[in-house]
Amino acid sequence: MQKCIKWGSHGLDVKVEDGTLSIRGSFIIEVKPRGVVFERATGYRVAGDARKKYIYVEHAELKPLEDAVDCPDELELGKLVLNRVDLDFEEYLTIVTSGESLIDYMVVTRTLTCIVVSRRREAYFDFTGNTLAVYLV
């Protein structure tokens, strides 16, 4: 199932296949039930509180695709919900996952993504070149 969601003046391609959500703009972000893969990552850090762990991934600017037009601000793709918010000075995309995923939700901005998981989850990172894979257990 392939659709698009509004981003900037155009949109991002969104596809769900075999349980993997792919978001494509100037690069690709793949959201899987047990992890996330980022092309064009530049760094990451982990923070947390008593209940949640926050994984911040810095990446190149996520730019829209010129051919993605007439895209909605909200998409429901089976058990996933994507919602775009425009604050005039910044826009962000919230991705709410199903209970089957180890990811509670994600917030994607132009240059930073926050992955929110349970405090009990362990995160492992594979940073090769400019591709970052975040694995959760």
Q: What is the pTM of this model?
A: 0.94
* Dihedral angle sign, alpha carbons of residues 64, 14, 58, 97: positive
Domain edges within the chain: 2-136
- The tens place of each residue's pLDDT in the chain, 137 residues long, gives 579 999 999 999 999 999 899 999 999 999 999 999 999 999 999 999 999 999 999 999 999 999 888 999 999 998 899 999 999 899 999 999 988 899 999 999 999 999 999 999 999 999 999 999 999 99
Question: Which H/E stretch holds residue 81?
Answer: strand 80-86
Burial 103-119, CB ≥16 within 10 A → b, else e: bbebbbebeebbbebee
Task: Report residue 96 CA to chain centroid gap.
Answer: 10
